Amino acid sequence: MLQLSLDFLGQQIDRFKPARLPRTRIDRPLVWKHGITVHIVFRPRARRYLLGLRPDGAARLVIPRRGTEAEGIRFLERSEAWLLKRLAQWRSRSEIRQPWVEGVRFLFRGEETVLRVETADIGLRLCFSDQSIPVPHALPDYRDVVLGHLRRMAECELPVRTRELALFHGITVHRVTVRAQKTRWGSCSARGTISLNWRLIQAPPNVADYLIIHELMHRREMNHSARYWKLVAQAFPDYRSAEQWLKKSRIELRA
């Protein structure tokens, strides 16, 4: 009788014990696109999928109690643009600005080029690829000089190329501007203004052409519908390769 009473008492106590949550699975790193490390963490108390950026620049993907890693990866894919934007902000805050001196490497027309500092008759000249920039004297950092030169090149070349392609495809363009957009490669307004990011001068010429055509096709279809992409494919059949290059290199170009 005593044993029966103790068993009954134990059952009643067990009713009031908190439910045991599944053991938290340990952080698992995953090397994702763009070379980003994503730490996948299962959290039983989480109610939804969460994505954030850790202090070291790696991403942290939280999967809730009833979630799956496969669905978490799909959530990560949908959040790609947001994550890249946060990563760029993190890099701008945390990285020390490295001076551009002789030997620095950067992209120009899709190819990695090396900066050379040469002595000229008066002052110096900065050389890379087929370009030469005169400077009156030595500087501790040539970044602004070089990027300013690239932007002036873009301001001269990109509008001309845009009008050539517009004429070829029979599209009317009212204005072409070259700007320093932080999150876009280009845009097209309803009034026919095409705006392009000056850093396209650093992309391969065919990729720059694709981006221009991408915006020109918006003069015919102001959306990203299936009909719009059909127009893009007709004008630039290899557009997927160009899109991949832009996605892969966006961080390097904007660093």
Tens of pLDDT along 36-76?
A: 889 899 888 888 999 988 877 888 999 998 889 899 999 99
Mean pLDDT across the stretch 209-231? 95
Among 182, 161, 154, which Cα is nearest to 92's? Answer: 182
Residue 25 has a pLDDT of 55
| φ, ψ dihedrals at 138, nearest 5° | -70, 145
Indicate the pLDDT class of residue 3, thresholds 50, 70 and 90: very low
Burial of 80 (C-beta count, 10 Å sphere; 0-12/13-18/19+)? middle
∠85-86-92 over CA atoms, to 5°? 95
pTM confidence score:
0.63
**Mean pLDDT of the chain, nearest integer:** 85
Residue 246 has a pLDDT of 87
Q: How far apart are CA 129 and CA 114, in angstroms?
A: 8
Domain with 51, as residue range(s), is: 21-94
If one counts the domains in the chain, the total is 2
90 and 188 part of one domain? no
Would you say residue 18 has pLDDT above 50? no
Q: Answer yes or no: is 112 within a domain.
A: no
CA–CA distances in Å: residue 88 to residues 100, 132, 249, 254: 19, 30, 12, 8
Burial of 12 (C-beta count, 10 Å sphere; 0-12/13-18/19+)? exposed
Q: Answer yes or no: is 134 within a domain.
A: no
Domain final residue pick, 71, 94, 117? 94
Q: Answer yes or no: is 139 within a domain.
A: no
Domain final residue pick, 77, 94, 111? 94
235 and 151 part of one domain? yes
